[in-house]
Structure 1
Amino acid sequence: MPDIKVIIPAMNEGDSIASVIADIPKIVSEIIVVNNGSTDDTVENAQKAGATVLTEDRPGYGYACLKGMDYIDKQSKAPDIVVFIDGDYSDYPEEMDKVVAPILEKDVDFVVGARKKSLREPGSMTPQQVFGNQLATFLMRLFFGAKFTDLGPFRAIKYEKLKELEMEDKTYGWTVEMQLKVLRKKMAYIEVPVRYKRRIGISKVSGTVKGTIFAGIKILGWIFKYSIK
């Protein structure tokens, strides 16, 4: 069996984190929740649900993901695959088998769980999220010939390929940075349609004006940075 580890960045996801952990398939060897400044019971609920809990005090989605990667780097045995998923229960963790399948069966390097409109619960993505995804993926098609349709946070990648990417974004640009570097390094990638539902709680990105603006700036910044290289 392949060794699969899951990284879940989490900030104030106390109401949802246990459900996310409970629905992750048993093929996963370790679930790593990175507490990113929570003031609720995220840590306690994640620990009770059986996850390894790390703490990253510096706020930022990328900081949390990098913390999880650093933890894995220091382990004696490297995993085969790392899966990233959000802690708000908007994704369906039980679909993880489907997300990792192209890596296991077709030797694909990187898989994005694409939130297809037909599979999304109405209202699960805000208008600004939909627009941002459409704009970002359009620009990636325009500049890089990409086939991406989504910047979905539910994604899987071979661990050795993840290391090659040398990820660096600390905040909102994490997902688009990963996809741009996959394109630049000509890694084999594919999208897998996944279901998507209304999240539990308020989004730290699309749920605030500040978060939406900064996420947009970060995403476009990464795209234009790579388009002029």
Structure 2
Amino acid sequence: MAIINLIIPAYNEEQSIARVLQDIPVGLVDEVIVVNNNSSDRTATVASAAGATVLDEPSPGYGNACLKGIAYAAAKPAATRPDIIVFMDGDYSDYPEETAKLIQPILDNQADMVIGSRALGNREAGAMLPQQIFGNWLATTLLRLLYGAHFTDLGPFRAIRLDTLLALNMRDKTYGWTVEMQAKAAKQHVKYTEVPVTYRKRIGVSKVSGTIKGTLLAGYKIILTIFRYL
């Protein structure tokens, strides 16, 4: 049986993190790792009380949190080292119960990386703001034109073999994390696929798309990352 770890980067998700954790299918994931990314609220306390392993990453940045979780998982003894890493946001916009659908192509040896596509799945009205939809379209179009990669989304809900992930040598510490993974996967000819996932309005306000500054910074970083790894 494959060993599966789920990494959840979390910044001020006190209101949502318990609901995310309680919806993860029992017995499917061997360990849930919540990376508390410099939160000023009770995210870490709530996540720990709900049964997650909590790691602290004081340096702000989505990529920083993901890198912390990966380092923890990769350093485990061989007997408990995960075969598959799943990434999911902590704001309750993803549906944790769809984790099984996300990892199935890897378990079936049909893919080494799976992106949960909100574009192919059912999306609650208003769950993605217009700038998010446009940004996803622009980024995936550039990935297709420049890398020959056929993605429909940069969705944060994704699964990947740990060895494949480590071979990508991920570096981005902030907004470019997801697109870096997809660009590098295309360059290294990683076997990938997408599965439709359901998406709902997040709990609380997005730290990225919820502000003009966050939106502009994220868009700039994503485009910069695409061209950086050409």
TM-score range, shorter chain: over 0.9
With 103-112 and 50-59 compared, the bigger mean Cα shift is at 103-112
Q: Per the alignment, do residues 117 and 198 of structure 1 end up closer, same or farther by CA in structure 2, a change over 3 Å counting? A: farther
TM-score of the two chains, using structure 2 as the length reference: 0.96
Find out whether 1:91 has 2:89 as its counterpart: no
TM-superposed CA distance for 1:116, in Å, is 2.4
1:170 matched to which residue of 2? 173
2:209 matched to which residue of 1? 206
2:32 matched to which residue of 1? 31
Q: Note the residue ranges of structure 2 that are not aligned, 5 or more in a row.
A: none
1:137 matched to which residue of 2? 140
Q: Which amino acid aligns with 2:66?
A: C
* Structure 2 Cα separation of the partners of residues 165 and 133 of structure 1: 22
With 23-32 and 94-103 compared, the bigger mean Cα shift is at 23-32
With 115-124 and 57-66 compared, the bigger mean Cα shift is at 115-124
**Displaced runs of 4 or more, over 3 A:** none
* Structure 2 Cα separation of the partners of residues 86 and 118 of structure 1: 17
1:12 matched to which residue of 2? 12
Partner of 1:135: helix, strand, or coil? helix
Find out whether 1:218 has 2:195 as its counterpart: no
With 121-130 and 38-47 compared, the bigger mean Cα shift is at 38-47
With 21-30 and 2-11 compared, the bigger mean Cα shift is at 21-30
TM-superposed CA distance for 1:106, in Å, is 3.1
Q: How do 1:189-200 residues align onto structure 2 when only pairs under 5 Å count?
A: 189-200=192-203
How many residues in Structure 1 have an aligned counterpart in Structure 2? 227
1:101 matched to which residue of 2? 104
Q: Percent identity?
A: 59
Q: Which amino acid aligns with 1:185?
A: Q
TM-superposed CA distance for 1:224, in Å, is 1.4
TM-superposed CA distance for 1:73, in Å, is 2.1
Aligned residues of 1:34 and 1:65 also touching (Cα < 8 A): yes
* Structure 1 Cα separation of the partners of residues 90 and 171 of structure 2: 21
Aligned residues of 1:12 and 1:38 also touching (Cα < 8 A): yes
Partner of 1:222: helix, strand, or coil? helix
1:108-166 Cα deviation digits (max 9, x unpaired) = 11000000266000000011100000000011111111110000000000011011000
Partner of 2:118: helix, strand, or coil? strand
1:179-199 Cα deviation digits (max 9, x unpaired) = 001000001000000000000
TM-superposed CA distance for 1:107, in Å, is 3.7
Task: Output the aligned Cα RMSD.
Answer: 1.0
Q: Which amino acid aligns with 2:90?
A: G
TM-superposed CA distance for 1:41, in Å, is 1.3
1:2-27 Cα deviation digits (max 9, x unpaired) = 10000000001001101111111221
* Structure 2 Cα separation of the partners of residues 92 and 184 of structure 1: 30
